[in-house]
Structure 1
């Protein structure tokens, strides 16, 4: 990805995440924790995830968003 995200306002950057094909189809998207915190802030981002009824997990500097309302289960 280019450095275009550095020029986007936080609202547009966040909207692009949820407009991604995978998100629209109820799939999974991921973003770096660093980008989330720097561009929109963790609290604001997680509030939007919850508002949509989605779930998110974090591991190794990545936030994975499950763009559906299904239950998430960690298997091991």
Structure 2
């Protein structure tokens, strides 16, 4: 019996990594992008302030960072 091939996560390239802003919309700092456990290429960025619920989870590091940039510059009700 042949072993199943595992998916390989593509190595991070400099062109995939965008600028993460220094502040959240509440004034707090974002966490570093963290891989979601048991998922392939799924990332989370969230605010470090305890009472702030700003969080972005996406497929792919560049999409996650772009989503955080969009989220952190808008005030939602």
Q: TM-score scaled by structure 1?
A: 0.25
Of the two structures, which has the highest relative contact order with CA contacts closer than 8 Å and spacing of 6 or more?
1
**Which structure: greater helix fraction?**
1
Q: TM-score scaled by structure 2?
A: 0.25
